[in-house]
Structure 1
Amino acid sequence: MDFKNLKESRKVEFKSSFGKEVIITLVAFANTRGGKVILGLDDKGTVKGIELGSETEQKHLNDIKTSTYPQLLPHSAIYEVDGKTILVLEINEYPVKPVAYKNRYYKRVKNSNHMLSLEEIVDLRQQSLDISFDAHAVDERLSDLDTSLMEKFIEKVNSKGRISLLDDMVTNMTKLKFIKSGKSTLAGTLLFGNHGYSIHIGRFKAEDTIIDDLLIKAPLLTALEEAMIFIKKHINLSYEFDGSLERKEVWQYPLDVIREFLLNAVVHRDYKHTTDIVIKIFDNRIIFSNPGTLFGKLTLKDLEKDDYTSSIRNKIVAEAFFLTGDIEKYGTGFIRIRKKLNELKTVTYKISEIGDFFRVELLDARSYDLGKDPVNGFIDPVKEFSDVRKDVRNIANDVRKDVEKKFSLSKNQILILKSIQKDRNLTQENLSEIVGITLRNIQNNMKKLKEIGALKRVGSTKSGYWKILWDNLK
């Protein structure tokens, strides 16, 4: 192993000695994607070596085992580098998660360890045991659910032919895990009952100017249709004529893409949070925000690929929409969206995670007048705005450097200002003694500081005081 060219990363950590931080790192690796702790390297990767007695390695392994639950037993290996001893402790991702160190849970983010929140602990447990969050029973019974909605659902499922349901309602609902032991599961209540979760949609003219809004509190099957109706009401519709007798509707955004993002929001949101799904419609964009970041190992970069594997938080709800044909195939939603928008070339989108929310921005590229892009036909407006902000920051930095160069302070001037920072009532004679230069030099330096706007005198010579005008004094 080439220790001299290693760098700390999501799967590698350097430690100069063994301690609790080593065990915490191993726990974080076990809860994420595995990794190795290398003992005997400092933070910069310089080989320092460690002292290893005949029983030291086994003692470290015992300490790790007794202070973790489930108990971890990493693979260990000893190396000699330039006459110095290196100990490598390596752990794979643990199959039963989360793993704890003294009842505290950690995960690995880039090259550091972070304590897991309660929600993340629950999510890891679900993933580990392959439990769907929407499978747990709630207080409602089958009789509390909307019978007409369930009948429509069964009719639609049978028409799609992906599964054949019987005439017996209880059997069907049990088979699909909408009820369990006579009680509705969360999935059953979400789809057919009074679940208490909302979709809040607003039409905005500006960030602080709302024109119309709608709060939807309804079973998900109904809520989706109500949301689509509201969105269609507030986006542009034009018509094209292709020579036939019928005109062709052209929506500002493809309706199937909007529906896909709506489905993603209701299927993949985290129902441990009661926060609303929020949809904001502007003149040139629609923003979808739903509680819950991506589930499991799925990342934003994965969604940009055509071979990503879907990770589903609410499997029963997802299965329901698959059976109705609303979800075509698991793990293909973003692939189809990209294909559709690449063909259309008038709409683009951006995905992000902000705090505990997953966010999608659907953008009307025509409204930005950004010119042509050789790959996609349109420049991504989000990237374009980011580039503009970057240019502005660069200009601001250049201006700041020019000002600092023009008004660079001498050591004596800095000492004068720092002294005044501590005591604004100092006299020039006091400053002469503190700085160690003549009174005449103090006067000349203070005159310069006043000329460049760093210092001013407030009040009279006898009763006034000095005021520093530069906030960024270092």
Structure 2
Amino acid sequence: MKENSIYDKKSIRTVMGKTADFDELAKDCVAFSNAEGGRIDIGIEDEEKLPPIGQRVPDGLPTTIINKITGKTHGVILSANVLAADNGSEYIELSIACNHNLVAMTTSGKVYIRIGDNSVPVGPEDFARLAADKGSLTWENVKTKYSWHDADPDKLQWFLKVIRKSGRVSNFVKQKEDKELLDYFYMTDEDTDAMTQLGVLFLGKQTQRGRIMNPPVIQVIKYDHYGEKVNKWLWDDYSKNPYEMIDELWQTIPEWTESKEIADGMFRRNIPAYSEKVVRELLANSLVHRPYTVRGDIFINIYPEYIEVVNPGRLPMGVTADNILHTSKKRNEHLCNVFYALYLMEREGSGYDMMYENLLENGKAVPQVEEGDDYVKVTVSRRVLSEETIKVMTRAAETQLLKQKQLICLGMIASAESLTGSELIKRLSLKDSDALRSWLRPLIDKGMVVSTEDLTNAKEYRVAPELLRNSQFKGKTTLKRIEPYRIKELILEDLKIYQTSPILDIQERIGKEITLRKIRIQLNELINEGKVRKVGSNRWLKFQYVDGE
């Protein structure tokens, strides 16, 4: 198992002998406690899957670890057990619970949080934000004064019916009695008949829902080309639960039903202005991931060329606009589970993947995420950027079995026509070329993407000509896909005519689509070959043709 946001592994030397480092282990335990909780396998080396052959855990070591970590931290809840691996060797499984109520810290007052496979320090400026996130975690479980027997009978029966029909709920859960089923989904308090705030949100009557802490309100505002408001829809009477709000919002707004017709061979194809899957996922994310301890409405702003979904509060600690495609953190865990069971959203961590794939398949830009001081805004464009990209994506899906990440990667390359490795890493928010490999390598192996022969991050990747032909690609001829040796010939012919020129003038004449980086590479080669020389420097640098001297 790879190290990630909920798993780590360490050598047995971390807790034994002169190399023991309990301070480092305490830091990781604090980080897990402040995130989603997690597990640390002690006794398995980095890059290994099993403990060393013959390794045995000394008696009393798990108790020593618990005592040491407890003495070096505040707010950390953990347990340790000795397990036997498949090779017969022993290791320690250290389980750290997520502390929903307190911010965990070391005894020296340092706070950490788990982000990806790292334990990252939390600075003073983010401490209050982390504490607020802790408060939002308990919002769902707060017991109200309303009994589930006094819930809206229609909503109660609807919930029990759809849950028992859901393909995302196990048969064991479906067979529970009504109260047990409500307890399982944290709709009711386990020891009493009282509904939780989560239960009132889904099952309560209008007056009950209006009295819980910050029930959701959605405002949809339509603007014209001049930025003037031309229409408004409002869901603020607390009569509907989240499922009903999402469904009615989709059915009500006329912009959702608009589409653009494009040619698809002998047929015509409608591309929706806004995909139903994308809109519903955005709405579900807004309702699920907002902090319910923060007051504020959800705004959906509809402009002629795009929509904005603006949520009160910030992203959960550890999630940023740059890593949102790969990082997930549940803020309202039980609400997430209910939404998933009701098919209101994808499983945790895959919603943005789905939106990326859907938008790229429809020739559109990927969603843009912006985090402000007290809001999160997601922008989705209406415009089709490339009809030819749609053909490429359709052909690829019809002829090859590709994973979601590979379709996303292909869509980005097709829409940009040509991307370097470093550009792909940036657009996909990956750490390095190693992380890019699983996204890109299968596309190359299947002959769907071709590359230049440069180093990994400088390589250029483009859709293979055969796939373009099979897709009946009819895009404009572009210099973005021109081979390097042809760029060199263009530069040489240009300088033969103009003799001496700055690089921007050369680019202007041979083609603005060719990047300056590509032109510089070929100019340097021509200089090394003695066919071009530099004249001047810095701002006044020019390149001169060497006429057979």
Where 1:336 maps in the other structure, the secondary structure is helix
SS at match of 2:344: coil
Please tell me whether the aligned partners of residues 132 and 315 of structure 1 are also in contact (alpha carbons under 8 angstroms). Answer: no
The answer as to whether partners of 1:202 and 1:212 remain within 8 angstroms in 2 is yes
How far does residue 332 in structure 1 lie from its aligned partner after superposition? 0.8
| Counterpart pick for 1:212 among 207, 227, 231 | 231
- Deviation track 1:70-90 (CA, whole Å, cap 9, x = no partner) reads 69xxxxxxxxxxxxxxxxxxx
Question: How many Å separate the matches in 1 of 2:121 and 2:175?
Answer: 54
Equivalent in 302, 305, 314 of residue 293 of structure 1: 314
Query: Which digits, 9 at most, give the CA deviation of each residue in 1:334-374, with x for residues without a partner?
Result: 111111222221343201211122211001244899x9998
Match of 2:258 in 1: 236
For the pair 1:363 / 2:381, whether they are aligned, the reply is yes
Contact in 1 for aligned 2:312/2:375 (Cα 8 Å): yes
Distance 1:359 1:28 in 2: 33
**Which residue in 1 is equivalent to 2:285?**
264
User: How big is the alpha-carbon RMSD for the aligned residues of Structure 1 and Structure 2?
Assistant: 4.4
Residues in 2 aligned to 1:125 and 1:30: alpha-carbon distance in whole angstroms: 20
Q: Find the aligned partners of 2:366 and 2:72 in 1 and give their Cα distance.
A: 50
Contact 1:216–1:223 under 8 Å retained in 2: yes
- The answer to whether structure 1 residue 152 and structure 2 residue 170 are counterparts is no
Distance, in Å, in 1 between the alignment partners of 2:154 and 2:352 is 32
Deviation of residue 377 (structure 1)? 1.8
* Equivalence for 1:348: 366
Deviations 1:287-311 (A, max 9, x none): 0111232224233332234xx4x21
User: Aligned partner of 2:305: which letter?
Assistant: N
Whole-Å Cα distance in 2 between the matches of residues 30 and 270 of structure 1?
25
Deviation for aligned residue 1:213: 1.0
Amino acid at match of 1:314: N
What residue is the counterpart of 1:274 in the other structure? 295
**Displacement after TM superposition at 1:192 (Å):** 2.5
**Among residues 199, 217, 229, which one is paired with 1:188 in the alignment?**
199
Find the partner of 1:161 among 167, 175, 178.
167
Cα distance change of structure 1 residues 244 and 132 upon mapping to structure 2, 3 Å threshold: farther
The one of 114, 126, 129 aligned to 2:124: 114
Query: Residues 161, 33 of structure 1: CA spacing in aligned structure 2 closer, same or farther, 3 A cutoff?
Result: closer
Match of 2:51 in 1: none
Q: 1:111 deviation in Å?
A: 9.6
User: In the superposition, relative to structure 1, how do residues 292 and 32 fare at CA in structure 2: closer, same or farther (>3 Å)?
Assistant: farther
User: How far does residue 264 in structure 1 lie from its aligned partner after superposition?
Assistant: 0.6
**Whole-angstrom distance in 2 between the partners of 1:232 and 1:197:** 22
Question: Which whole-Å CA distance do the structure 1 matches of 2:72 and 2:32 have between them?
Answer: 20
Cα distance in 2, alignment partners of residues 112 and 317 from structure 1: 26
Q: Which of 366, 374, 377 is the aligned partner of 2:415?
A: 377
Give the Cα–Cα distance (whole angstroms) in 1 for the partners of residues 176 and 265 of structure 2: 48
Given that residues 271 and 362 in structure 2 are in contact (C-alpha distance below 8 angstroms), is that contact kept between their aligned partners in structure 1? no
Q: 1: CA distance between counterparts of 2:265 and 2:310?
A: 41
The one-letter amino acid paired with 2:360 is N
Partner of 2:143: 137
- Counterpart residue number, 2:182: 173
Q: Distance in 2 between matches of 1:168 and 1:106?
A: 43
Q: How far did 1:122 drift?
A: 3.9
Query: Quick check: 229-238 or 136-145, which moved more?
Result: 229-238
SS at match of 1:275: coil
CA distance in 2, matches of 1:105, 1:207: 50
Cα distance, 1:331–1:238 mapped onto 2, change above 3 Å: same
Deviations 1:139-175 (A, max 9, x none): 3321443221222222222222333435843332223
Match of 2:333 among 289, 295, 315: 315
- The question of whether the paired residues in 1 share the 8 Å contact of 2:365 and 2:385 is answered with no
1:216–1:226 contact (8 Å) kept in structure 2: no
Q: Secondary structure at the match of 1:228?
A: helix
SS at match of 1:289: strand
For residue 267 of structure 1, report the CA deviation from its aligned partner. Answer: 0.9
Please give the alpha-carbon distance, in whole angstroms, between the structure 2 residues aligned to 1:112 and 1:183: 37
Report how far residue 249 of structure 1 moved.
5.0
AA partner of residue 188 (structure 2): I
Tell me whether 1:327 sits opposite 2:357 in the alignment.
Answer: no
Q: How many angstroms apart in 2 are the aligned matches of 1:28 and 1:359?
A: 33
Q: Which one-letter code corresponds to 1:170 in the other structure? A: K
Which runs of no fewer than 5 residues in structure 1 stay unpaired? 1-26, 35-64, 72-92, 384-474
Partners of 1:351 and 1:358 within 8 A in 2: yes
1:198 matched residue in structure 2: 217
Counterpart mapping for 1:379-394 below 5 A: none
1:323 Cα offset (Å): 1.2
Distance in 1 between residues matched to 2:31 and 2:322, nearest whole Å: 17
8 Å contact kept, 1:345–1:378:
no
SS of the residue aligned with 1:304? coil
Instruction: Kindly indicate whether the alpha-carbon contact (under 8 Å) linking 1:199 and 1:276 is maintained by their aligned counterparts in 2.
Output: yes
Q: Tell me if the contact between 1:106 and 1:115 (Cα under 8 Å) persists in the aligned partners.
A: no
Give the greater-gyration-radius structure (CA).
Answer: 1
In 2, distance between residues paired with 1:352 and 1:332? 19
Contact 1:107/1:116 (<8 A) preserved: no
Unaligned runs of 5+ residues in structure 2 are 1-25, 34-69, 77-95, 114-118, 391-410, 418-422, 424-549
Q: How does 1:416-455 map to 2 (within 5 A)?
A: none
CA distance in 2, matches of 1:205, 1:321: 33
- Partner of 2:324, secondary structure, is helix
Alignment TM-score, normalising by the size of structure 1: 0.52
Structure 1's 229 and 29: CA in aligned 2 closer, same or farther, altered over 3 A?
A: same
Secondary structure of 1:375's match? helix
The SS at the match of 1:203 is strand
Match of 1:51 in 2: none
Q: How many matched pairs?
A: 294
SS at match of 2:366: strand
* CA deviation string 1:247-269 (max 9, x = no partner): 96542121111111111111111
**Which residue identity is paired with 1:149?**
K
Q: Residue 138 of structure 1 contacts residue 184 of structure 1 at CA under 8 Å; is this kept in 2? A: yes
After superposition, the Cα gap between the structure-2 partners of 1:311 and 1:112, relative to the gap in structure 1 and judged at 3 Å, is: closer
Percent sequence identity is 17
Whether contact under 8 Å (1:346, 1:378) holds in the other structure is no
Instruction: For 1:276 and 1:191, locate their aligned partners in 2 and report how far apart those are by CA, in whole Å.
Output: 18
